[in-house]
Amino acid sequence: MIAPAPRRLFDAPAVRALLLQCLAFPLTLATVWLLARAGLPMSYLTVALVQGAWAAGLAWRARLAPWWRAIQFVFAPALVLAQALHLPPVLFLGAFLIFLLIYWSTFRTQVPYYPSGRAVWDTVAGLLPPDRPAAAIDIGSGLGGLVLELARRRPDCRVDGIELAPLPWLASRLRAKLAGSRAHFIRGDYNDLDFGRYDLVFAYLSPAAMTALWRKAEREMKPGSVLVSYEFVIAEREPDRRVVTTNSKKILYLWHF
């Protein structure tokens, strides 16, 4: 089962995983000391494997999700192996900065970037009222594909996107400018946004975000509006409607207010 999105920093699985790595370190030192005393040959890789084993064990004890145990196990050995490649340190810094700008608060929100695609955009376009202007938003708009497409198809509608991560947001702004689109991209957290301004709220998030999303939608969405979630359901509330996207088996879930 996937845990709900953490509210405090120390509840975030990535932060807990980091703390467990720190906790594993003295245990690793003690284990390595005992193994060395017993005459076993030690290398940096052996030490890293011991560290990985302790970290994975602690992750299991702390009930982190199974994939965290695997990440915890390979983390230190991967560092040692990467070190052996003798790559320039600036490469690591560059990769870190790019991942930071793309994934930003994912360690807290547990909603990484992955795009939906044209089949979903077509289906969402069909959910807008055909005979009157409406306001729609993609909460977590990524590179802006859905928002740009809706704005292109429906010039009578106001179409917004809000995105937390700086690089995808910047890319969507640039795409809108280059395409001369009326789509509006906000950089920020959808939790700070009033959903009551929209007739359609589209979400492609993750299971961890859905309970809080439902509470917010219930508080704020106006009568006649619709919440659309691609792929992910809300445990607390059955959807009013399911729509299968045109060329995939994936489902859009709809809640009417």
- What residues make contact with ligand SAM under the rule CB under 6 A? 109, 111, 113-116, 138, 140-142, 145-146, 162-165, 168, 189-191, 204-205
Output the smallest distance, CB 117 to ligand SAM, in A: 7
Nearer residue to ligand SAM within complex by CB, 21 or 116: 116
Nearer residue to ligand SAM within complex by CB, 204 or 253: 204
Contacts of 75 (CB under 8 A, 6+ apart): 21, 52, 55
Output the smallest distance, CB 92 to ligand SAM, in A: 23
Output the smallest distance, CB 175 to ligand SAM, in A: 12
Beta strands at 251-256 and 184-187: parallel, antiparallel or unpaired: unpaired
Phi and psi torsions of 207, nearest 5°: -55, -30
Output the smallest distance, CB 121 to ligand SAM, in A: 8
Question: Which residue's Cβ has the minimum distance to ligand SAM?
Answer: 140
Which of 193, 143, 189 lies closest to 168 in space, CA to CA? 143
Nearer residue to ligand SAM within complex by CB, 92 or 114: 114
Nearer residue to ligand SAM within complex by CB, 6 or 142: 142
CA distances (Å), 30 to each of 21, 120, 133, in order? 15, 54, 68
Which of 19, 189, 215 lies closest to 111 in space, CA to CA? 189
